[in-house]
Amino acid sequence: MDTQTNYKELPLLSVCIRAHNIEKELLDRCISSVVHQTYTNIEIILVNNFSNDDTGLYCDEWLQKDHRIQVIHSPKENISFHTMLGYTTGEYVHLLDHDDWIDPNMYAKMMSAMLSTNSDIARCEFCFAYPDGRIVQRNITHNTDYYEVIGRDEGVLLILENKKWQTYRWQNIFKKNLLDFDIPNAKTYADLAGTHILFHHALQTVYLHNVFYFYYQRPGSIVNPQSRKGKKKNSYHRSNALYERYLFVKQHPQYHSMLRSAKKKSVKQGIYTLWDMIDYPQYFREHAYETQAERLKQFSLSLRDGILFVLNFDLWILKNLPRCYKPYYRIFYLNLRRLHHYIKVCYKLFIPPKNHQFD
């Protein structure tokens, strides 16, 4: 696609942005990066998601600036993924976080690759953007204007491995029919719980090595909460997402090469979350501890699974002596924390700083 392309003859791309209690300058930067795309045949579904500040007013301001924008004011705290998609009319969909932004050529390049290869998903690379202005790329070699076609099974395995490919949903443009499948609607870590399912239903993905997406590392965001309560609740949501991923891998034999890894991650996060439920029961729903414990009891482990011995022992107590688990945790781990704190204090007292100059 070049500057002479008639974009009105190309497929309509629906861009979904869910805004919640966001600063005006961040939302403006995000939406500006969309309305100034060189691929112009787009519609923008801007959802004011249960905000209790002026986010709704900021959204309505944009309604007056560009006819391609549609504003939805949702009274629900977490508008569902499928509800948001119900407002879209495009054949292709991109989900964009309200504090991130994109390269002006992202949609033109990705839609061109998607259409020329007849792929169901187009995927690009991203970089980290920080409040102090730093832009940091991931430790991957990026070749500009180069793409490759990845088959379904390979794409899912790359997502599950979460190394070369990350699990984020906003790196991708999807054919809308992929989004009709049952995808978990998690408040946080929805990508972790559901992105692999989208790739599982795609025939193939075209992977562009270009860095088109700027992932803003905002303190106090949903995935980076500052409060203890927010962090503990995120631990719980992450545990749920990893468990859903484990069940998916277990169900599909073609991905069983990642089964041990999925099991290990689910058990580790599950036990860490169980600890939080013992320490901070006020942050969790009634009977959340019992539900989490019953889920963990389903796992059978061996040392080959690569899980720390102490976590293996935790699981053994949970399965065989469930009434003893809370007393065991309080005695063993609280004393372990005291010992760790004592060692840190001693280290600071008796080990001189590296730059210390002796007379």
Residues 212-230 have pLDDT tens digits of 999 999 876 666 777 888 8
Q: Model confidence over 94-132: pLDDT tens digits?
A: 999 999 999 999 999 999 999 999 999 999 999 999 999
Determine contact, residues 16/96, Cβ cutoff 8 Å.
yes
pTM: 0.86
Domains of the chain and CATH, by start = 7-216 (3.90.550.10), 228-348 (no CATH)
* Residue 186: pLDDT band with limits 50, 70, 90: low
Instruction: List all residues 6 or more positions away from 68 whose beta carbon is below 8 Å from its beta carbon.
Output: 35, 42, 43, 44
The Cα 236–Cα 34 span in angstroms is 33
pLDDT of residue 141: 63
End-to-end alpha carbon distance in the chain: 69
- Residue 75: predicted pLDDT: 80
**In this predicted structure, what is the pLDDT of residue 143?**
62
Distances (CA, A) of 200 to 44, 158, 179, 191, 317: 27, 11, 12, 14, 37
Measured from the Cβ of residue 154, the count of other Cβ atoms closer than 10 Å reads 14
Question: How large is the average pLDDT for residues 246-267?
Answer: 95
Over residues 6-30, the mean pLDDT reads 91
Distance separating alpha carbons of residues 235 and 229, to the nearest angstrom = 10
Of the candidates 306, 310, 232, 236, the one whose C-alpha atom is nearest the C-alpha of residue 269 is 236
pLDDT score of 307 more than 80 = no
**What does the pLDDT read at residue 33?**
98
Q: Count CB atoms within 10 A of the CB of residue 128.
A: 13
- Measured CA to CA, the distance from residue 288 to residue 330 in angstroms comes to 18
- Residue 88 sits at φ, ψ, to 5 deg, of -85, 150
Mean pLDDT of 233-261: 94
* Alpha-carbon distance values, 185 to 83, 193, 313 (Å): 10, 8, 33
Name the pLDDT band for 50 (thresholds 50, 70, 90): confident
The percent of residues in the chain predicted with pLDDT above 90, rounded, is: 61
Task: Identify the pLDDT of residue 218.
Answer: 81
160 or 355: which carries more pLDDT confidence? 160
Residue 356's pLDDT is: 42
Segment 270-282, tens digit of pLDDT: 999 999 999 999 9
109, 212 contact by CB (below 8 A): yes
